[in-house]
Amino acid sequence: MQKHELKKSLGQHFLTDENVLQKITVAIGDFAPFKTVVEIGPGMGALTKHLVKQSYNSYFVVELDNRWAAYLTENFPALKGKVVNEDFLITDLSFMQNPTHVVGNFPYNISSQIVFRIIDERETVQQMTGMFQKEVAQRIVAKHGSKDYGVLSVLTQAYYDGEYLFDVPPECFNPPPKVMSGVIRLVRKTTPLGCDEVQFKKVVKAAFNQRRKTMRNSLRDLVNNNKALLENEVFNLRPEQLSVQQLVDLTNRIHASKKEL
């Protein structure tokens, strides 16, 4: 495995524990319901070798490091023409079909950005099962009222139901990271958000930009200092106290008030 040095700049920590790899494989489950399965950051294929066996579906891997992309092409004949040697964050994802399942042991240095790209591709990505740094995984699935609850939590849970599955300790990797890891699952919601999505994103980012302040202070400029609107009791709360649905309702209230002007 060590014929190439790992690149710290790409957050490369390869999972080597076969028991954990099997556990992740079981968590990912059956590929039959999906038209496309995409593995992000497969490296030398430790997880790939378990998953590519379900070859009756279109299985793609996206690997930025050209050394591993070449290795995968050479050692996994089933991946012929399906190794995308590019950055998942900016590559053309038109090869994905609805429904797509995104899987992987995600590079920790871009893991939040990967989630945001999945959210952007939510019309296609029905499910995601993957491993993150534990702190990031906890933030993604955190509920309101938690210190971990923030922009990443809200924007993810606006479109997906999330579940924390299990921990993965550092000694399961080569080289071992300095942090605990965690595997989570996201499943796309079947109901629409229920508000203007652009306005919702603005409200969420403005609110959590000053998370220690009340909603009245953090959203004052966004609502044009509408005193009647600001009298609503929801503006007495801090952003982490509001559920996703409450933030949806608030977005609708703000949007309606602007139309009245």
For 132-173, what is each residue's pLDDT tens digit?
A: 999 999 999 999 999 999 999 999 999 999 999 999 999 999
pTM: 0.92
Torsion of CA 138, 139, 141, 144, to 10 degrees: 120
**Residue 138 Cα distances to 38, 45, 66, 197, angstroms:** 23, 26, 31, 24
CATH 1.10.8 spans which residues of the chain?
197-260
Q: What is the pLDDT of residue 253?
A: 92
10 confidence band (pLDDT: 50, 70, 90): very low
**Residue 50 structure tokens:** 């378990």
Q: Is the pLDDT of residue 260 over 70?
A: no
Q: Is the pLDDT of residue 214 over 50?
A: yes
Q: Is the pLDDT of residue 56 over 90?
A: no
The closest of 39, 69, 67 to 53, measured between CA atoms, is 39
Q: What is the mean pLDDT of the chain?
A: 92
CATH 3.40.50.150 spans which residues of the chain?
8-188
Q: If you classify domain 197-260 with CATH, what class do you get?
A: mainly alpha
Q: Read off the pLDDT of each residue in 189-210 and give the average, rounded to a whole number.
A: 95
The terminus-to-terminus CA distance of the chain in angstroms comes to: 64
174 confidence band (pLDDT: 50, 70, 90): confident
Looking at residue 177, the DSSP 8-state letter turns out to be P
4 confidence band (pLDDT: 50, 70, 90): very low
Q: CA-CA distance, 198 to 142, in Å (whole number)?
A: 22
Q: CA-CA distance, 28 to 84, in Å (whole number)?
A: 21
Q: Classify domain 8-188 by CATH number.
A: 3.40.50.150
Work out the percent of the chain whose per-residue pLDDT is above 70: 93
Q: What is the pLDDT of residue 218?
A: 92
Structural contact between residues 33 and 99, judged by C-beta atoms closer than 8 angstroms: yes
Q: CA-CA distance, 174 to 201, in Å (whole number)?
A: 38
Least reliable range by pLDDT among 5-9, 15-19, 134-138, 144-148: 5-9
Whether omega before 42 lies within 30 degrees of 0, making that bond cis, reads no
**CA geometry: angle 70, 74, 75, nearest 5 deg:** 120
Q: CA-CA distance, 251 to 179, in Å (whole number)?
A: 37
Structural contact between residues 176 and 169, judged by C-beta atoms closer than 8 angstroms: no
Which residues does 178 contact at the CB level (< 8 Å), separation at least 6?
Answer: 170
